[in-house]
A and B are shown apart, each in its own frame.
Chain A
């Protein structure tokens, strides 16, 4: 959840949605995202909306966070009305959700169930920092209804972790994965970052192998992005650290994709791999397939029926709005048909199921055919009417999307 918000129109104070946005609620999967904006320390590469202080102005604290989030759930219920469907997926992201007492996380899940109802077999995920979880916490979360845990491993190389300001010791993420499984979590995912200054191809290979040794059923791998405003950005600008090299990043991606495929994890989105369809993150899939979700928490983004909105960034402003029974939304966008088409092309092109060619116009189709000729898209898929990226194509997805939207 980046710390900068897009430009857009203001959102109404009561959070009301146009009738058209609510009309077809329930035709798409409905999810809840909960943003927990707290971290023990801020990592140098991170531009997410997160705060390290225990207490923030306006009587906002980690301890009072759950109450504010639950207040927003009540608002969500009022806005969505009777048509609100049961919740298929819940995802706690951050920040570091596991910095909250497990009881708080569980209380929020319970509130979701009480407010909307959790659908049978709902996916309930939390991100977790390996250092901020232990067997007791896993047990409490599992007991409280969580079904999936996503652990931030980043790397197995100590010098890479140091550059990233990550405090965990190598080996701890794998241990945490084992603890999660022992607590009864069937779905355990690990997050890795490649391309950190100072990382070699071998460092990266060793990190992927270390992750695989923990036998996750899901893995995400992200190239390091040097975001403006981060400490890492400043260090690169001052020349203390080299800028990540794009060719090296492409090599690392290929290394990961090969090692993961060899271990039975197949890509289903550009940065995500899973052992089978059931292991895919259903919550994230809903983002890419145009699903509806309500984002709870400071800076959280929501999407319902072609309306995107986002909350104010600061936890104090967020809690203040809810205390006054106002919507914490900072701004919103009403997507027109062409924008929705653009977004669908942008998002669906990233998926293994591919992009439906029906969305393309003549120029876009020609671009799709060129992509096949250039080895960026699979020829058989094109015959089925879908644009499905090859590994080379996945690395050039943005360039391709810019042509497909024509």
Chain B
């Protein structure tokens, strides 16, 4: 294999191993830097380089984000003349995926903190940097894109040094695009990031920090060996799940899967046992060998909790079993996705799914549609609220249509988050306005530099799951960034808002909103639905109601004409084809009573904009 020397030598000298990841905000150049690292280490020849090779899922490349962590081994000859084995563990850069970040960081001793030299530090970078510092990682700060005209290396270096307490002069300045400074970055990694300190003679232990499901090979566990050595053919045991199996294949990524005979302390790679059930080899579990079993597991991870819920329904009800299969398969790759069957009067059989956030929801839906060829309808995203009944019983409700009767409710509590927003100071006013509008309360503000401000707000999660991020971006011309963490449940005056079409409530359009906003939301929603529901053969009244009280009303007037005037000998084939096409369009609509509702109508709520 030309250009990839020394890959098959036996276990590395532990002191020559460095494990690191890259922390960066979206578009600050993480993937480009990763690509350059693969090039300068000759792991991949330039000509085989697909731009941004590490992002292997199509969706990732299209959206410019990394979803699943990847772990690549590269060999690097450092300034000291020694060859080092570096493992680059990729991390996602979006707020939805912070749990993935903490998993990746747990497999490393160091991290590159990559900051765009014209943009500066962003909220997400800040959050991940704190995660890395908390995890005891050595950070190597890097300013990227210094070749761009808008770069302000001095200002941004000052920001970074404030954050890390480093000398601004020690902050590396590079251009991942041109490759300038990439060697220095790797030399700095070798120099500053400590080698792994596992015990080669102790009973073997490895952390599963990620996993992937392959339909032929079963679960592919991404592991970081901490102590001892794992060898091909050996019997292993997953300590938490109690699973026992033999190692069918073990190896590393360079960047493609490359089998090896063993992985030793500090090494990062993959392990395959043929096990097909992902719950038997869970992310966060510790692997050991049966022969020389460890007694103490490595610290694991907390289970990820979904924050945003939405119904997914097949447009063609015959696809329900296929949707179930697809969700089962996706869950194998995506521990954060949860789902349970849901039946909607309007939409039929489907699944209530839990996601980490809206982006995660979009990605799951797109993967289901693209990779599994399903046509899906998504209902309005909601959060899980806790309802305390008069009798003291606590009921979690993550579907508005499951809301108990108001007379039985003593109190409703909704999840709150603490939002950290980083912004140039001129946008502070507009952001505060947005946060007030979203029922937020101001909890703190500090200047990161003379120009950049960190704002803290406590907000109901429900207020930010829809369009908060988009609005934040548009109000600040893209300059503000957001990170948030859950801070618990708080009592709120929430009501269930129902939508009725021709007098029949449409469960899939119900939502839980704050009482003070119910009128406005109802009005805007009724208007949006009027735009999205095509005229039918009869008038369709649209009502928004709280209980039996109608708070808004619109009417889709009946159409009176749907006929072509001319249908003579030469028109027949064309006309028949037109009717057949119209029929297919009709089949994509959902029948609610006698009203035909296009799927976009169920997402009308997503464009509620400022009214929420």
Task: List residues of chain A with CB under 8 Å of any chain B CB.
Answer: 1-2, 4, 6-8, 33, 222-223, 225, 246-247, 249-250, 253, 270-271, 284, 287-288, 293, 295, 299-303, 308, 310, 333, 339, 342-343, 346-347, 350, 374, 376, 392, 394-399, 401-402, 405
Given contacts A223-B565, A300-B570, A395-B561, 4 further A-B contacts (CB under 8 A): A223-B561, A301-B569, A346-B576, A405-B583
Q: Tell me the minimal C-beta distance from B278 to chain A in angstroms.
A: 43
CA distance A339 to B569 in the complex (A): 16
In the complex, whether B537 has a CB less than 8 A from a CB of chain A is yes
Q: Tell me the minimal C-beta distance from A310 to chain B in angstroms.
A: 7
Q: Mark B555-581, 1 if CB is under 8 A from A, else 0.
A: 000011111111111111111110110
Q: Mark B30-56, 1 if CB is under 8 A from A, else 0.
A: 000000000000000000000000000
CA distance A398 to B416 in the complex (A): 52
Task: Report whether A246 and B561 are in contact in the complex, using a CB–CB cutoff of 8 Å.
Answer: yes
Q: Which residues of chain B (571-612) have a CB below 8 Å from chain A?
A: 571-577, 579-580, 582-583, 586
Task: Report whether B570 and A1 are in contact in the complex, using a CB–CB cutoff of 8 Å.
Answer: yes
Known contacts A293-B569, A295-B570; A396 and B583 CB within 8 A of each other = no
Task: Report whether A271 and B566 are in contact in the complex, using a CB–CB cutoff of 8 Å.
Answer: yes
Task: Report whether A399 and B569 are in contact in the complex, using a CB–CB cutoff of 8 Å.
Answer: no
In the complex, whether B538 has a CB less than 8 A from a CB of chain A is yes
Task: Report whether A398 and B569 are in contact in the complex, using a CB–CB cutoff of 8 Å.
Answer: no
Task: Report whether A401 and B561 are in contact in the complex, using a CB–CB cutoff of 8 Å.
Answer: no
CA distance A395 to B586 in the complex (A): 19
Known contacts A392-B560, A396-B560, A399-B562; A342 and B576 CB within 8 A of each other = yes
Task: Report whether B570 and A398 are in contact in the complex, using a CB–CB cutoff of 8 Å.
Answer: no
CA distance A247 to B558 in the complex (A): 10
Q: Which of B561, B569, B571, B579 contacts A396 (CB 8 A)?
A: B561
Q: Tell me the minimal C-beta distance from B485 to chain A in angstroms.
A: 51
CA distance A143 to B583 in the complex (A): 49
Q: Which of A253, A301, A395 contacts B572 (CB 8 A)?
A: A301
Task: Report whether B561 and A303 are in contact in the complex, using a CB–CB cutoff of 8 Å.
Answer: no
CA distance A392 to B538 in the complex (A): 12
Task: Report whether A308 and B582 are in contact in the complex, using a CB–CB cutoff of 8 Å.
Answer: no
**Nearest CB in chain B to that of A35: its residue:** B570
Q: Tell me the minimal C-beta distance from A284 to chain B in angstroms.
A: 6
Task: List residues of chain B with CB under 8 Å of any chain A CB.
Answer: 537-538, 559-577, 579-580, 582-583, 586
Known contacts A346-B579, A398-B579; A33 and B561 CB within 8 A of each other = no
Task: Report whether A398 and B582 are in contact in the complex, using a CB–CB cutoff of 8 Å.
Answer: yes
CA distance A299 to B570 in the complex (A): 9
The 4 residue pairs across chains A and B that have the minimum distance between CB atoms:
A250-B560, A222-B565, A301-B570, A6-B573
Q: Which of A7, A225, A247, A342 contacts B565 (CB 8 A)?
A: A225
Task: Report whether B582 and A347 are in contact in the complex, using a CB–CB cutoff of 8 Å.
Answer: no
**Nearest CB in chain B to that of A342: its residue:** B576
Most chain A Cβ neighbours within 10 Å, of B566, B569, B577: B569
Q: Which of B538, B560, B571, B576 contacts A2 (CB 8 A)?
A: B571
CA distance A119 to B373 in the complex (A): 58
Task: Report whether B563 and A303 are in contact in the complex, using a CB–CB cutoff of 8 Å.
Answer: no
Known contacts A402-B582, A402-B583; A343 and B563 CB within 8 A of each other = no
CA distance A333 to B559 in the complex (A): 34
Q: Which of A293, A396, A405 contacts B537 (CB 8 A)?
A: A396
Task: Report whether A402 and B573 are in contact in the complex, using a CB–CB cutoff of 8 Å.
Answer: no
- Chain B contacts for A4, CB-based, 8 A: 574
**Nearest CB in chain A to that of B594: its residue:** A370
Q: Tell me the minimal C-beta distance from B87 to chain A in angstroms.
A: 56
Task: Report whether A350 and B582 are in contact in the complex, using a CB–CB cutoff of 8 Å.
Answer: no
- Chain A contacts for B567, CB-based, 8 A: 270, 287-288, 346-347, 350
Task: Report whether A249 and B561 are in contact in the complex, using a CB–CB cutoff of 8 Å.
Answer: yes
Q: List 12 A-B contacts (CB under 8 A).
A: A8-B573, A222-B566, A225-B566, A295-B570, A303-B572, A310-B570, A339-B576, A346-B572, A396-B561, A398-B562, A398-B564, A398-B582
- Chain A contacts for B559, CB-based, 8 A: 246, 396
Task: Report whether A308 and B566 are in contact in the complex, using a CB–CB cutoff of 8 Å.
Answer: no
Task: Report whether B564 and A225 are in contact in the complex, using a CB–CB cutoff of 8 Å.
Answer: yes
Most chain B Cβ neighbours within 10 Å, of A7, A223, A398, A405: A398
Task: Report whether A33 and B569 are in contact in the complex, using a CB–CB cutoff of 8 Å.
Answer: yes
CA distance A394 to B580 in the complex (A): 19
**Nearest CB in chain A to that of B569: its residue:** A287
Task: Report whether A250 and B538 are in contact in the complex, using a CB–CB cutoff of 8 Å.
Answer: no
Q: Tell me the minimal C-beta distance from A58 to chain B in angstroms.
A: 23
Q: Tell me the minimal C-beta distance from B40 to chain A in angstroms.
A: 54
Task: Report whether A250 and B561 are in contact in the complex, using a CB–CB cutoff of 8 Å.
Answer: yes
- Chain B contacts for A395, CB-based, 8 A: 560-563
Q: Which of B538, B563, B572, B574 contacts A270 (CB 8 A)?
A: B563
- Chain B contacts for A303, CB-based, 8 A: 569, 572
**Nearest CB in chain A to that of B559: its residue:** A246
- Chain A contacts for B583, CB-based, 8 A: 402, 405
Task: Report whether A6 and B569 are in contact in the complex, using a CB–CB cutoff of 8 Å.
Answer: no
- Chain A contacts for B571, CB-based, 8 A: 2
Q: Tell me the minimal C-beta distance from A187 to chain B in angstroms.
A: 17
Q: Tell me the minimal C-beta distance from A398 to chain B in angstroms.
A: 5
CA distance A243 to B602 in the complex (A): 29
CA distance A374 to B563 in the complex (A): 17
Q: Which of A247, A270, A339 contacts B560 (CB 8 A)?
A: A247
Q: Which of A7, A253, A287, A295 contacts B561 (CB 8 A)?
A: A253
Task: Report whether B573 and A308 are in contact in the complex, using a CB–CB cutoff of 8 Å.
Answer: yes
Q: Which of B564, B574, B582 contacts A6 (CB 8 A)?
A: B574
CA distance A308 to B569 in the complex (A): 10
CA distance A14 to B574 in the complex (A): 25
**Nearest CB in chain B to that of A253: its residue:** B561
CA distance A2 to B566 in the complex (A): 11
Most chain A Cβ neighbours within 10 Å, of B537, B564, B583: B537
Most chain A Cβ neighbours within 10 Å, of B561, B567, B573: B561
CA distance A250 to B557 in the complex (A): 14
- Chain A contacts for B561, CB-based, 8 A: 223, 246-247, 249-250, 253, 395-396
Q: Tell me the minimal C-beta distance from B539 to chain A in angstroms.
A: 12
Q: Tell me the minimal C-beta distance from A93 to chain B in angstroms.
A: 8
CA distance A223 to B564 in the complex (A): 8
CA distance A333 to B561 in the complex (A): 30
**Nearest CB in chain A to that of B563: its residue:** A397
Task: Report whether A343 and B572 are in contact in the complex, using a CB–CB cutoff of 8 Å.
Answer: yes
CA distance A352 to B580 in the complex (A): 24
CA distance A287 to B566 in the complex (A): 12
Known contacts A395-B563, A398-B562; A343 and B569 CB within 8 A of each other = no
Q: Tell me the minimal C-beta distance from B576 to chain A in angstroms.
A: 6
- Chain B contacts for A401, CB-based, 8 A: 579
- Chain A contacts for B580, CB-based, 8 A: 342
- Chain B contacts for A270, CB-based, 8 A: 563, 565, 567
CA distance A392 to B570 in the complex (A): 26
Q: Tell me the minimal C-beta distance from B317 to chain A in angstroms.
A: 16
Q: Tell me the minimal C-beta distance from A309 to chain B in angstroms.
A: 10
CA distance A1 to B567 in the complex (A): 10
- Chain A contacts for B570, CB-based, 8 A: 1-2, 295, 299-301, 310
Q: Tell me the minimal C-beta distance from B155 to chain A in angstroms.
A: 49
CA distance A398 to B566 in the complex (A): 12
- Chain B contacts for A308, CB-based, 8 A: 572-573
- Chain B contacts for A394, CB-based, 8 A: 563
CA distance A55 to B576 in the complex (A): 35
CA distance A85 to B572 in the complex (A): 23
CA distance A376 to B563 in the complex (A): 13
- Chain B contacts for A8, CB-based, 8 A: 573
Q: Which of B537, B566, B572, B574 contacts A399 (CB 8 A)?
A: B537
